[in-house]
Amino acid sequence: MFEMRVSGCLFFICYFSLSFFGHTTLASHPRSHKNFNNQTTVNMGSSTRQKRVLCGYGIDLDAVSAWANTGDGTSANPSDVSRGIYGATVGVDRLLSFLDKHHIKATWFVPTHSLQSFPKQVTKIRDGGHEMQVPSLGLHCYTHEHMSALNATQEEDILSRSFDELSKFLKKAPSGWTAPGWKPSSHTVQLLEKYGIKYDHSFMHHDSQMYRLPYPPTVKATDVTKSPSTWMQPMSKLHASSIVEIPANWHLDDWPAFNVGNGGNGFIDPDLVFKLWTEQFDFYYQEYDSFVFPITVHPQVSGKPHVLRMHERLVKHINSHEGVEWMTMDEMSDQYNSGQISGHVVEGGVDL
């Protein structure tokens, strides 16, 4: 998934190496399993407020398709293919055990290539009661085709086949979506509406609040071979679609830190990532009465022992806070659509 720069990884290592040794463990107290009809009350200073924290795992079952997407038809490296097979088999089994242990139902984004190549494993996921969603048009559609590299016809061809294949397998239409490498095209939002997709998990207008996904605005790119007058204009006004956005977040994704190559560093200390993720959670918990905390993982990455042990500590930390509810992204979007949790309004741009 992912074009992260080496300089960002070096900053990440330096910054957290300086701060990590000052970290202290928060005191634990029992978590809440209460639903929206029985919310937990939290005392904060002189006021009493209800906390609602909707947490969930979004699991991208990229498997071999992550490596088959070479873009130019070059054959995938056999060793990389073996990493994808590991993810679809060993990684999936370990993550299913982890989720069952903590009574968490996750959202699995399954490329059609993974569905067809590993039907027994995908059946395990479905029969375990987990939410399974339509693969994205790129990284999670058939073989990780990036949507931004496709024309509108190619994009719809891939979405249509993926949608049909997963609907047939689930015996119902999928309701959610995530884009490959979180690189949607300018046509994606309209296509998702056309196919009745209820929510997306690809955009970053906010990091902890759900919102109505805007259609992509017009943004003039700078072209220094032309006159400045050709690009000097503001962004066009944003207009909301019908789709609920459950925000994506590169800083809550396992791939950049733990995958070796293909946009990942691969050798970040899990303690540093644990601190990065819990610092975000703690900030949201301090600043908001309600928020969402969607975590993005991949079986070939988070199925590794050192990463899985970090997830154990992460869940323990999250569960030490009152008002926490683990749920699928479909359930999160239902909470937003029904008005049972507040969200964000994305604004910006001007009429051109």
Domain of 322, CATH number, reads 3.20.20.370
Residue 1 falls inside a structural domain: no
Q: Mind listing the pLDDT tens digit of every residue in the chain (352 residues)? A: 444 433 444 444 444 444 443 433 333 333 333 333 333 333 333 345 789 999 999 999 999 988 887 667 788 899 999 999 999 999 999 999 999 999 999 999 999 999 999 999 999 999 988 888 754 332 345 655 667 678 889 889 888 888 998 899 989 888 999 998 898 999 999 999 999 999 999 999 999 999 999 999 999 999 999 999 999 999 999 999 999 999 999 999 999 999 998 888 899 999 999 999 999 999 999 999 999 999 999 999 999 999 999 999 999 999 999 999 999 999 999 999 999 999 999 999 999 9
Q: Under DSSP, is residue 351 helix (H, G, I), strand (E, B) or coil?
A: coil
H or E segment and range at residue 294 = strand 290-297
Take residue 231 and report the two structure tokens written for it.
């690009």
Q: Under DSSP, is residue 84 helix (H, G, I), strand (E, B) or coil?
A: helix
User: Are the C-beta atoms of residues 79 and 96 closer than 8 Å to each other?
Assistant: no
Residue 352 falls inside a structural domain: no
User: Are the C-beta atoms of residues 335 and 54 closer than 8 Å to each other?
Assistant: yes
Residue 346 falls inside a structural domain: no
| Cα–Cα distance measured from residue 265 to residue 313, given in angstroms and rounded to the nearest whole number | 22
Residue 114 falls inside a structural domain: yes
Strands (E), 134-279: 176-177, 199-200, 211-214, 240-245
pTM summary value: 0.83
| Cα–Cα distance measured from residue 19 to residue 27, given in angstroms and rounded to the nearest whole number | 20
DSSP-based helix, strand, coil % in the chain, nearest 5: 40, 15, 40
Residue 225 falls inside a structural domain: no
Residue 351 falls inside a structural domain: no
Instruction: Report H helices in 221-340.
Output: 255-258, 270-287, 299-302, 305-319, 329-337
User: Are the C-beta atoms of residues 202 and 179 closer than 8 Å to each other?
Assistant: yes
Range of the domain at 317: 6-22+32-219+236-337
User: In which region does residue 349 sit, left (phi positive, over 0), alpha (psi from -120 to 50) or beta (all else)?
Assistant: left
Residue 349 falls inside a structural domain: no
**What 8-state DSSP symbol labels residue 130?**
-
| Cα–Cα distance measured from residue 302 to residue 90, given in angstroms and rounded to the nearest whole number | 11
Q: Write the CA distances from 221 to 88, 230, 233, 235, 237, integer angstroms.
A: 40, 9, 10, 10, 16
User: Are the C-beta atoms of residues 177 and 199 closer than 8 Å to each other?
Assistant: yes
Residue 214 falls inside a structural domain: yes
* Amino acid making up residue 184: P
Domain count, the chain: 1
